[in-house]
């Protein structure tokens, strides 16, 4: 190891740490984790070849191609709305898992559990806030993403089917938000969901049946809470992940980002 330049022949702590870092990054275990071209690898250089490998040898290759059209990188083209919707979904999943630890989907327990988040649980209140505001923001970003896609004419061939998938994703986002709305089991939740589900009851022919299946009864009650909880944390996320996978896959199969105009 090189001397530290003070002439006393000893190595400084910083140099020793750097040496350990280099040795770890050169180890077999490290190289088994980070595939060739990863910036985490020893000796990564900023070359066109490595820039390609960063994506190609990475799980990100499912999402992004190695190269994209130059105009697609401009923030003003997409405003990152689709990506932000996906990011918000991930954030909501993480905060949602945290909230599930403290929540019981029963009419007697739900409200006290939510109320105790602000008193008994470390970071409980802010995680709940993040979950709620993030959910509202996701509805907005998904909607804005749709308007952006429309104004760019990005639903035109060959992207027609992906637009349809996107409409399904918008619907699933609204349903996720709506089912989550009931879970705090306060007056706001109960009556907002009552008003909302009353609309479903107006559906012709099967209106009453649809309403009954949705509510698990004739009005919003304890069975509704359990149903909405299962829909919110399991069924709808399962569906939306499948549709998102198809959506992202089709974005690439249909030729990447649309345009330029």
Partner 1 sequence: MANVPEHLLRRSAEAKAKATGVPFDQVWAEMTGGAAPAAAAAPAATATATVTTTAPVTATAPVAAAAAPAIPEGVRTQRLLTVVKARAIQQVKKEPTDKVHVWPHLLAVEFVALLVVLALLIVFSIFQDAPLLELANPNAQPNPSKAPWYFLGLQELLSYFDPQIAGVLIPGLGLAGLAIVPFIDRNRSTRPSDRKFAIMMFTFFVVAAAILTIIGSFYRGKGFNFTFPWRDGIFFDL
- The interface with partner 1 within residues 156-215 (CB under 8 A) comprises 156-157, 159-160, 163-164, 167-168, 170-171, 174, 177-178, 181, 184-192, 194-196, 198-200, 202-204, 207
Rounded least distance, CB 65 to partner 1, Å: 7
66-69-71-73 Cα dihedral, nearest 10 degrees: -10
Place of tokens 């949602």: 96
Q: What's the closest the beta carbon of residue 238 comes to partner 1, in angstroms? A: 21
Cα(91)–Cα(127) distance, integer angstroms: 10
- Candidate residues 21, 26, 217, 221; the one interacting with partner 1 per rule CB under 8 A: 221
The yes or no reply on residue 68 touching partner 1 (CB under 8 A) is: yes
# of chain residues touching partner 1 (CB under 8 A): 86
Between the alpha carbon of residue 141 and those of residues 18, 86, 160, 236, the distances in Å are 43, 10, 21, 19
- Binding residues among 240-259 for partner 1 as defined by CB under 8 A: 258-259
Which of residues 4 and 194 has its CB atom nearest to partner 1 in the complex? 194
Binding to partner 1 (CB under 8 A) within 77-136 occurs at 80, 83-84, 87-88, 91, 107, 111, 114-115, 118, 125-126, 128-134, 136
Q: Dihedral, CA atoms, 132, 134, 137, 139, nearest 10 degrees? A: -70
Select from 55, 121, 226, 239 the one that contacts partner 1 (CB under 8 A): 55
Start-to-end Cα distance in the chain: 57
Q: Which backbone phi and psi does 94 adopt, to 5 degrees?
A: -65, -50
Least Å distance, CB 243 to partner 1, is 13
Smallest separation, CB 137 to partner 1 (Å): 7
Give the number of other Cβ atoms within 10 Å of residue 251's Cβ.
21
Backbone angles phi, psi at 87, to 5 degrees: -60, -45
How many CB atoms within 10 Å of residue 226? 15
**Backbone φ/ψ region at 156: left (φ over 0), alpha (ψ -120 to 50), beta:** beta
Three-state secondary-structure class, residue 128: helix
| Distance from C-alpha of 35 to C-alpha of 45, rounded to nearest angstrom | 14
CB closer to partner 1 out of 201 and 237? 201
26-34, 62-70, 228-236, 238-246 -> range binding partner 1 (CB under 8 A): 62-70
Site residues (CB under 8 A) for partner 1, limited to 12-41? none
Residue 85 or residue 233: which is nearer to partner 1 going by CB? Answer: 85
Task: Choose between 97 and 164: whose C-beta lies nearer to partner 1.
Answer: 164
Residue 15 or residue 210: which is nearer to partner 1 going by CB? 210
């Amino acid at each position: 190891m090189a001397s530290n330049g003070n002439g006393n022949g000893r190595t400084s702590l910083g140099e020793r740490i750097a040496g350990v870092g280099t040795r770890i990054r050169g180890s077999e275990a490290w190289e088994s984790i980070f595939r060739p071209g990863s910036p985490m690898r020893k000796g990564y250089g900023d070359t066109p070849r490595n820039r390609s490998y960063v994506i190609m040898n990475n799980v990100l290759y499912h999402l992004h191609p190695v190269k994209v059209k130059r105009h697609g990188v401009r923030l003003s083209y997409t405003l990152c709305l689709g990506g932000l919707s996906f990011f918000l979904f991930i954030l909501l999943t993480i905060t949602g898992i945290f909230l599930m630890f403290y929540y019981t989907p029963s009419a007697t327990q739900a409200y006290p559990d939510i109320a105790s988040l602000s008193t008994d649980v470390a970071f409980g209140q802010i995680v709940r806030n993040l979950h709620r505001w993030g959910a509202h923001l996701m509805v907005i970003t998904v909607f804005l993403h749709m308007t952006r896609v429309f104004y760019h004419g990005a639903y035109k061939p060959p992207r027609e089917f992906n637009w349809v998938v996107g409409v399904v994703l918008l619907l699933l986002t609204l349903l996720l938000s709506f089912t989550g709305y009931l879970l705090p089991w306060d007056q706001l939740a109960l009556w907002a969901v009552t008003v909302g589900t009353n609309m479903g009851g107006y559906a012709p022919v099967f209106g009453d049946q649809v309403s009954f299946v949705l509510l698990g009864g004739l009005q919003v009650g304890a069975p509704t809470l359990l149903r909405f909880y299962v829909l919110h944390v399991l069924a709808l996320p399962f569906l939306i992940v499948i549709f998102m996978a198809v959506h992202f896959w089709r974005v690439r199969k249909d030729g990447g980002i649309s345009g330029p105009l």
